[in-house]
Structure 1
């Protein structure tokens, strides 16, 4: 394996000069830099990142953590998060993806192992992890959930505002009997989306019926089961707000299984705007929650924080947007 010393010997320069040239140091003349880079290319030189990491005290690893990967995280949410982060993290970094619930304790998480951490936070239980990482002085950005810590960079969407828009859209289309399929219990997004649902009903003076609130788990199967329950209540709802698109797709399938149609017999609205949402039949009306965009901003802010550890915390909101398609029926007056 070719080393910096080998290149230095052939080029008849010091190994310090080679190292500086390979790292684009301004202390090296352009012709010398070009000569060394050409020689390194001809010799198929590959940097030894492990050795470099020891010298620079860098791991070249970014940690991307979820509250849980296996429990309550939909495939689309998981994919969009990784896609967003990965589009920003360049090839000089390794991306390490894990669920917090995989750890019995956090002793393996330290500044020698991670240059920085992005947390896609879904629950208050993450607070222990957040304060552990801050205590270890590892650069940290928290996505998706509002955390009241001034030191943090916190990036999230306003879920309650998004769900309010969804319910308002149903009301404006003449719906009064509106149900909700809630997300996973204990997740902040579940509470925020239900808050928006309730606020819209209160603002428009529509009665809140307990039988119209059914718990789900953010997956298609729970959406299917929840819709089955709603279809068997004494007065079934005319419209159902699902706390994510995966459950909305499950709910649509339950409606079809009962020999009914969407939106002719029952209107359905989702949340997230996953890739499948515009390819369902009918196309799903939903709230676009830009998870990929949130993740991109998270990665950009983390890299900036790694480069400038003294940066102050801030909170950034990324707006939701109602995507009106074909799954909501306009009721006759």
Structure 2
């Protein structure tokens, strides 16, 4: 009988992609899924769980502690990816419970983590750690008993991690801006602080790259929140000829509140995605955004945890970096 590995070799894709197609994962392209399923039917491949050495293992219980972001799209997609992994491996009695806490409340996350650790039947934790030092201190005594995967924010060099390189994503955004603006055109950079996940790193990467250009830079200026940023931008746009705009945090809310006629002709690049950013790209207010493959991160965290628990896999490369995507009007998906 043909194996998934042989199907993968015939189609020139990975075995993981074959498994996703067979399990109905929405994380792969429909065309790829169609090709896999056609070959499965043609070769009379049969999924064999009974013969698997994994099927006889006892159920494994994992808790995923995910942060609720102001950008609802991020949280929804992370949870979707984790749920896809849980569904894919459900036959092995692999169970993931998702709990959420506010991204702006690290203390609440610590309280929730301490409650979770009281469960004596817990096998693994997937976590986006808001207070890395405190979270690691709490988890350290459990590392021999419980498997840990960090998601989005890297917990520790010794802990397997899934997530983007936010600094690199900031650099990519700056590279796009460099291509949009001409020599000596003026770029306004607004800094709205640290969201504990990405915004501080986005800005660092953006500045590292943009400072090596011939663009005239104004900032980074402190935005101090959505409303004050709106007023700051209105005031500066009225006083000076500004050609480009980059905001590291709350960009979608700020751009949505600014008068659209004020933004016409401005070159605007962002990091991240969501309903508002998609709408602003459709209106051609945002030229481009650089985003991570969010649901894939959730899926990969769930899959890696499964392999640690059921296959005793050790990850020598502790950081599995997710891909960055550049989204603009022509390749925007609904």
Instruction: Give the TM-score of the pair, scaled to structure 1.
Output: 0.66
Where does residue 126 of structure 1 map in the other structure? Answer: 132
SS at 1:112's partner residue?
A: coil
Query: Whose radius of gyration is greater, 1 or 2?
Result: 1
1:203 to 195, 206, 212: 212
TM-aligned CA deviation for residue 170 of structure 1 = 2.0
Provide closer, same or farther for how the CA distance between residues 143 and 199 of structure 1 changes in structure 2, counting only shifts above 3 A.
same
Q: Deviation at 1:113?
A: 4.4
C-alpha distance in 2 between matches for 1:300 and 1:232: 49
Deviation at 1:89, TM superposition (A): 0.6
> What 5-or-longer segments of structure 1 have no aligned partner?
1-22, 28-52, 217-221, 327-333
The count of aligned residue pairs is: 258
> Could you say if the C-alpha distance between residues 73 and 302 of structure 1 is closer, same or farther in structure 2, counting changes exceeding 3 Å?
farther
Distance change >3 Å, CA 269–CA 279, structure 1 → 2: same
Q: Could you say if the C-alpha distance between residues 171 and 213 of structure 1 is closer, same or farther in structure 2, counting changes exceeding 3 Å? A: farther
Query: Which residue number in structure 2 is paired with residue 194 of structure 1?
Result: 203
Aligned to 1:4: none
> Counterpart in 1 of 2:157?
149
Mapped contact 2:189–2:219 kept (Cα < 8 A): no
**Equivalent residues of 2:188, 2:219 under 8 A apart:** no
Contact 1:120 1:144 in 2 (8 A): yes
Aligned counterparts of 2:241 and 2:224: Cα–Cα separation in 1: 16
Cα deviation, residue 228, structure 1: 2.6
Equivalent runs, 1:247-262 vs 2, <5 Å: 247-256=250-259, 260-262=261-263
Instruction: Check 1:288–1:315 CA distance in 2 against 1; reply closer, same or farther (3 A cut).
Output: same
**Per the alignment, in what secondary structure is the counterpart of residue 203 of structure 2?**
helix
Alpha-carbon contact 1:230-1:237 (below 8 Å) kept: no
Q: CA deviation at 1:251?
A: 2.6
Equivalent position of 1:320 in the other structure: 324
CA contact 2:64–2:98 (8 Å) conserved in 1: yes
Q: Which residue of 1 aligns with 2:283?
A: 282
Which among 294, 297, 318 is matched to residue 297 of structure 2? 294
1:141-188 Cα offsets, whole Å, 9 max, x none, are 1121234422x1111212222222222222222253222344552624
Check the 8 A contact 1:225/1:254 in 2, yes or no: no
Whether the aligned pair in 2 keeps the contact of 1:159 and 1:320 (CA below 8 Å) is: no
1:159–1:215 Cα change, 3 Å:
farther
* Equivalent residue in structure 2 for 1:241, among 225, 236, 246: 246
Alignment of 1:95 onto 2:97: yes
Is the 8 Å Cα contact of residues 192 and 223 (structure 2) preserved in structure 1?
Answer: no
Coordinate RMSD, CA, aligned: 3.2
Cα distance change on mapping 1:208 and 1:263 into 2, 3 Å: same
CA contact (8 A) 1:242 1:270 kept: yes
Q: CA separation of 1:64/1:94 partners in 2, compared to 1, >3 Å: closer, same or farther?
A: closer
- Inter-CA distance 243–75: structure 2 relative to 1 (3 Å threshold): same
Distance in 1 of aligned mates of 2:170 and 2:303: 28
Equivalent residue, structure 2, for 1:329: none
Q: Which residue, 68, 72, 77 being the options, matches 2:74?
A: 77
Q: CA deviation at 1:302?
A: 0.7
Select between 230-239 and 285-294 the one with higher mean Cα deviation: 230-239
Distance in 2 between residues matched to 1:76 and 1:253, nearest whole Å: 16
SS of the counterpart of 1:260?
helix
2:308 & 2:164 partners in 1: Cα distance? 21
SS at match of 2:153: coil
Aligned-partner Cα distance in 2 for 1:211–1:273: 22
CA offset digits 1:35-73 (Å, max 9, x no partner): xxxxxxxxxxxxxxxxxx9xx5x5x5321113x43xx54
Helix, strand or coil: the match of 1:251?
helix
